[in-house]
Amino acid sequence: MMQFLVSGVAIGSIYGLIGMALAITFYVTRIINFAEGQLMMVTAMVTAELFASGWPTWAAAGVGLACSCIIGLLSYLIAVRPILAANRLGFGWLVSTLGFAVIVENAAAYIWGPTSQAFPPMLRDVSLHVFDAVLTGQQLLAIVTAAVLTLGFELVRRNTLFGKLGMATATDPEMASAIGINTTLVALVAFAVSALFAGIAGLLIGPSTFANPYLGHTFGTYGFIAMMIGGGTEKPISAMFGGLLLGICAEGANAMINSQASDWFPFAVLAVILLISPKGLFNAGALLRPGRILRRSGENTRSAG
């Protein structure tokens, strides 16, 4: 019991980071960048390649993260901005970001080949005992890193000028632009930060799964599920809670059903949760009872009258 709980929190932290990467772009621009999984893969592939060439682990990781951020910026400039300029209210970005993801994935397969590469461990092989469960150093690094990044993002969002500019852009981009906010710059920073989150997730999962060009597809899907479970489209931090819940459920399914259960169980969890709360479990107001909603509607109607 405790072992799959600990393992679920560790892998859920990574799902949550990818979910937050997706949620950040939507929070600021109302666009979901479906190439986040591929940005995660780019970091893992570049890091593994440079490490194999003799680079120190952390230097290789830094270059991998830089590549992820650069491609994240290109995804906005190439796959999003032209679409929004043509039709801001349409959903052309859905196709363009998916297309960008396919291009990045196939380019990686062409450059490095379809086979997996060994990934350097980010920590030495150490482990801790949590009651009757074993927590590896890599799992501990994932949990601590996710907690620090989540808390840091929330503090920036709430307490800094740039966080307030991001919230203003998310609420009403036309009005934000009219009062002098450079919405393009805000969007570029949002896409770079989201790429950084996805890249860090790649560094955290790489030692466990190896690095291959198709890594991003699976984890990008799990990140999207984490975002939807948590309700991260309204508040990015909720995607982390969704990722933790998803990780625990997936690991529990592996332990109690079979080793392939995590391939389909997250989709079952998502379906059940969306039936209960279409806005996600951790979104403020998502679990309002119908009666309370009706009472609020009536109060608003009387106030308007």
Over residues 133-188, the pLDDT tens digits come to 778 888 889 999 999 999 999 998 888 877 777 777 776 767 777 777 788 888 89
* CB contact at 8 A, 196 and 24: no
Average pLDDT over residues 218-238: 88
* CB contact at 8 A, 50 and 63: yes
284 band by pLDDT with thresholds 50, 70 and 90? low
The alpha carbons of the chain give a radius of gyration, in whole angstroms, of: 20
- Most trustworthy range by pLDDT among 79-93, 105-119, 157-171: 105-119
- Give the CATH fold of the 2-304 domain: ABC transporter involved in vitamin B12 uptake, BtuC (1.10.3470)
Average pLDDT over residues 217-239: 88
Over residues 116-126, the pLDDT tens digits come to 888 887 776 67
Question: What is the reported pLDDT for 182?
Answer: 82
114 band by pLDDT with thresholds 50, 70 and 90? confident
- Most trustworthy range by pLDDT among 97-111, 168-182, 220-234: 97-111
Question: What is the reported pLDDT for 196?
Answer: 96
Least confident of 16-20, 63-67, 252-256: 252-256
Tokens of 140: 């501990």
Over residues 154-168, the pLDDT tens digits come to 998 888 877 777 777
296 band by pLDDT with thresholds 50, 70 and 90? very low
- Most trustworthy range by pLDDT among 32-46, 82-96, 111-125, 275-289: 32-46
Mean pLDDT of the chain: 84
Average pLDDT over residues 197-217: 90
Does the pLDDT of residue 38 top 90, yes or no?
yes
Helix (H) or strand (E) holding 127, with range, is strand 127-130
276 band by pLDDT with thresholds 50, 70 and 90? confident
pTM over 0.95: no
* CB contact at 8 A, 47 and 283: no
Closest-CA residue to 65 (of 194, 179, 253): 194
Q: Which residue matches tokens 């009666």? A: 291
59 compared with 286, residue with greater pLDDT: 59
Q: What is the dihedral of CA 184, 190, 191, 192, to 10 degrees?
A: 110
Least confident of 121-125, 141-145, 231-235, 249-253: 121-125
Strand partners, 134: 129
User: What percent of the chain is modeled with pLDDT above 70?
Assistant: 90
